[in-house]
Structure formats: structure tokens, C-alpha cells
Chain A
Amino acid sequence: MNFEDLQQTWQRQPVPVVHDQSALLEKVQAGAAAFEHTIRRRDNREIGAALLVSIIFGLMVPRHGWPYAFVAAESLVLAAFFLFDRRRQRRWADAFDETLLGQLDRAIRLTAHQLWLLKNIFWWYLLPFLVGMLLIHAHEIPASTWRERFQWAAPKMLFDWLIVGGIYWLNQRAVRTKLHPRLKELSALRDRLRAADQN
């Protein structure tokens, strides 16, 4: 048996029948709508949460002072960043009609970007949050002895660090278990295809 025989069998293979094309089309359209809806819902949830934090902290400014305005502004900046970055990522991802090499390049760029974001989450997301909380605690700390100040601030700072630590740990786990292997896998695919082109 030679390759041509295999080709013949391959090309003659029975092709599954779609009995009701309009029903399938409706399903595909519903699927596409569900997909868009899921993405919009995720974006809205993240932006909505940031806006809510901003509003809550903004309302606290007159009563509790300017550090709350810092956190409110910080949340607004984050919401804008989420919106901008998600749109950019979607533009990178939506090109399934590219060549295989082109699509792999895009997928690698997207995964590398996501990996960078999560790896550096402390600097762009958690540190501003910590600074904001630190400013709030410093503003509200009672004027008393150092010992009493420490006793007042330590549990609050510990709580902040626990939250930050938890978020950081979750994100670094995603980097290790999902994004790094994915990037490696995609890079291997692209290198393999490129090597075929260059050899």
C-alpha cells in the first residue's frame, strides 16, 4: 500500500450528514452569542467591581479623609486599564483565518502578555492596593504610644498582607500550572513549523 492508496481511502471516507442545517446554524449563532455574552459579562463584572470599590471609597472621602480618594482613583484607573487591555487582547486573539504560523505567533504573543500580567501582578495591581491601605491606616492611626499604635495597626496590616498574599499565590499558581506550559507548548509548535521552513 502506498500513500496514494491512503489518500484514496481518506478522501472516500464517509462524511457525517447534517440533517437539519438551519437548526445547526441557529445553534452556532446561539453559541456565538453565548460566547460574546460570557466575555461581556466577565468584563462587566471586573469593571463593575472596580467601579463599586471606587464609589464606596469615594463616598467615604468626606467623612474619613483624602486617602480614600486615592483608593477610589486607583480603582478607576484599574477599571480603565482592564477595559483597554481586554480589548487589545481580543484583537490579538481574533484572527483564526491567519496562516498557521501567523496564528501561532498571535497565540504566543497573547499568552506571553497574560503571563507577564500575572507574573507582575504585585507591581501593577497589588502594590497600589497596599499603598492605598497603608495610607488609610496611617491616616486613621490613633495618636497614642508606639506600642498602642503597633497593636492597632498590626492586625490590619496582617489582614491586608494575607489578602494580597492569597491573590498573589493564586495568580502565580496559574502562571506555573497553566500559562507557562501553554507558552512552552505553543512555542514548541511554532519552532517546529519554523524549523521545517528553515532547514
Chain B
Amino acid sequence: MIADAQREARFTAWLAEHRGIMHKIARAYATEPADQADLFQEILLQLWRSLSAFREQSKPSTWIYRVCLNTAMTWKRDERKRRELAAPEWSLSEVPTSDPRPGWTHEESELLGQLYHAVRELPPTDRSLVLLALDGTSYREISEITGLTENHVGVALTRARQKLAERLKGVRHEL
């Protein structure tokens, strides 16, 4: 078990460094902004609760992906209202807004919106593989995150990418 101060320091550092993972997964697994905020909140909560079990046997990003994806895969949309009623003090009203990146264009923004839309249409397991691939995660890490054997990550990923390509037919030429 790690001390509270160390746990807080680690959580804050990870939030600064890896919050992109949390936001991307929340956005990919929930459609409505209120649901995205709820899932983001649930992810933060599970990260905090699981943090004492982090044994430094894997990279922080690998561990964070696991917690985030596990939370997203088992997250139930209909629990939001019940939770808000049970603990109204724990409610982020919305996902924090982002400052645009330098050089980030309107076209990229549109493409990203279409990409999220296509990703959300994939079955949840394929979605997790595609998200990891889009983030440039190695097969070995994907294997550590999903529990699939490394040999089969490639096969599963190719199939998931094909499904993504079908959904992005109007957007891309070669995937």
C-alpha cells in the first residue's frame, strides 16, 4: 500500500500527464456530454480507488489504460441519475473544455468528430483495440492491457480496423 501523500502526488502527476487517455476513452464510450462527464468522473474515481494497488510492474500509461477501459466497458449509462441523487456533491457538471492546439484546423476538428462517431459505432471490445492503436500503443502493451496473447492482437486489430474503415468510407481512401 502506498502512503496517502504519495498517492495524491501520483494521482495529480498522472492527471497532468495522462488526462488525454481519460478524456478520449470517456468520449469514445459515451455519446452525450452529460454521459461523457459522468464516465470521466467514474474513471477518475476508479483510478483513485485503484491507485493503492499499483505495483509499478507496468508502465503508468498501461495501467491507466486498463483502469479506464475496464471502467468504460462496465459503465452503465442508466446509473448516472441514481448516482447523482445518491451523492450530489460528487458531480462534475461537464467535461472540462479544451484550449485549441496551435495549428489545429477546423478540418481536423471535423475529421476528429467523424472519427469519434465511427469509433462509437464499433462493438466495445473492437473499440478498445482501435483506441489503443490510434494512440500508437504497441502490440505488447495492447496485450498487457487486454489480456489477449500478443500474437493475436494483430489479427484482432486488423479486423477492428476493417470495421472502422467501413464506417469511415466517405472520409478516407485507404485505411
Q: Using a CB–CB distance below 8 Å, which chain A residues touch chain B?
A: 1-3, 5-7, 9-19, 21-22, 24-25, 27-32, 34-35, 38, 94-104, 107, 182, 186, 189, 192-193, 196-199
Query: Would you list the 4 A-B pairs with minimal beta carbon distance, nearest first?
Result: A99-B147, A101-B147, A31-B90, A196-B156
Main secondary structure of the interface of A (DSSP, over half): helix
Contact B125 A196 (CB under 8 A): yes
Whether A98 contacts B148 in the complex (CB less than 8 A), given A13-B112, A189-B124, comes out as no
16 example contacts (A-B, Cβ-Cβ < 8 A) are as follows A1-B172, A2-B173, A5-B172, A6-B168, A10-B24, A11-B135, A15-B23, A19-B96, A21-B12, A28-B11, A31-B41, A31-B87, A34-B86, A38-B87, A94-B49, A103-B66
Of A34, A186, A198, which is within 8 A of B90 by CB?
A34
Mask of B117-161 contacts with A, CB within 8 angstroms, 1/0 = 000000111101000011110000000111111001001100101
The reply to whether B95 and A16 form a contact with Cβ atoms under 8 Å apart is yes
Contact partners of A29 in chain B: CB under 8 A: 48
CB distance from A115 to the nearest CB of B (A): 15
A-B contacts counted at CB < 8 A amount to 179
Interface centre among A14, A24, A96 (most CB of B within 10 A): A96
- Contact residues on B (Cβ < 8 Å of other chain), bracket: 35 or more
Per DSSP, chain B at the interface is helix
A32 lies within 8 A of B66 (CB): no
Are the CB atoms of B48 and A197 closer together than 8 Å?
no
Q: How far is the CA of A107 from the CA of B8 in the complex (A)?
A: 28
